[in-house]
Amino acid sequence: MKILITGANGQLGKCLSQTLREEGHVVLTYSKEQLDITNRNQIREIIQKLKPELIINSAAFTKVDLCEKEIEKAYVINGIGPYYLAAESKEENIKFLHISTDYIFAGDQFSPYEEESQAVPKNIYGKSKRLGEELALVFGGDVTIIRTSWLYGHGGDNFVNTIKTLSERLDKIDVVDDQFGSPTYTKDLVNVIKELITMPSGIYHVTNSGSCSWYEFAREIIKFLKKDTVITPISTRDYGSKTPRPLYSVLSNKKLNSTGIYVRNWKEGLYEYLEKECIYKYED
């Protein structure tokens, strides 16, 4: 299959590109510098020239705090971009797969969110990503929305790398303990995406199984690294972030499980990721 991937330089895009090539697909990768998903004419030109059979959009403006300051940019990239990609995909009869987020939910319940749960985003990032979902689905084409959470992968900035780096120079790190989600390794997400490519279109929640707080996540990282750094729990209020975030954004994989697909526990994914990161660092 000929597959076009946007946002190819991101941690998910890199993993997607490598894995799908290894599966024997023809993978056409475009970074944000090579393809501006907010430019419909450019999208149309590239699609008509390359004629892909599938488009996977992993391009997004994901800096949550910055989205609050650059509101128009957030809505254009996260909302209008998917709209243009979906429109051109529908026009050319191409399957479109769009990556979304747990942040479309308010986080005011304490049971995992299902695909049909009401979306009430609390911040601009979540609102812009929700708009992207709605606009991608408006044409009624062959569109699949994949919502994931707390993503981390090789070759990018993420929470795991941040804690790992801080632990090398600090004796104590404050981490919020009242926000809960499911840390998700890009490798595990991509393994599911491979399956969803040939499955019926729709909305799917895909995360590593299990859940934890950011504090518990950080402690597990430090434990694996055998560091002496003390992880101190702190509330979201005391942490001082001005951007509202969902306190509970765990996604239910029940729909995915009903298809026979299961994702391993988040700790297993984390351990494999850290093992590989340590090897990469040693080789460098």
Q: List the pLDDT tens digit at each of the 284 positions of the chain.
A: 999 999 999 999 999 999 999 999 999 999 999 999 999 999 999 999 999 999 999 999 999 999 999 999 999 999 999 999 999 999 999 999 999 999 999 999 989 999 999 999 999 999 999 999 999 999 888 999 999 999 999 988 999 999 999 999 999 999 999 999 999 999 999 999 999 999 999 999 999 999 999 999 999 999 999 999 999 999 999 998 889 999 999 999 999 999 999 999 999 999 999 999 876 443 43
Q: Which CATH architecture has domain 2-157+182-210+249-264?
A: 3-Layer(aba) Sandwich (3.40)
Q: Please classify residue 235 by burial: count the beta carbons closer than 10 Å to its beta carbon, then call 0-12 exposed, 13-18 middle and 19+ buried.
A: exposed
Is 125 an annotated catalytic residue? yes
Instruction: Report the C-alpha gap between 208 and 189 in whole angstroms.
Output: 8
Query: pTM, whole model, 2 decimals?
Result: 0.95
Question: Which of 186-220 are b and which e, b meaning 16 or more Cβ less than 10 Å from the residue's Cβ?
Answer: bbbbbbbbeebbeeebebbbbbbbebbbbbbbbbb
The residue type found at 120 is: V
Tell me which of 75, 84, 113, 125 is the catalytic residue. Answer: 125
Name beta bridge partners: 6. Answer: 30, 57
- Give the list of residues 6+ apart from residue 222 with CB closer than 8 angstroms, or none: 163, 167, 229, 231
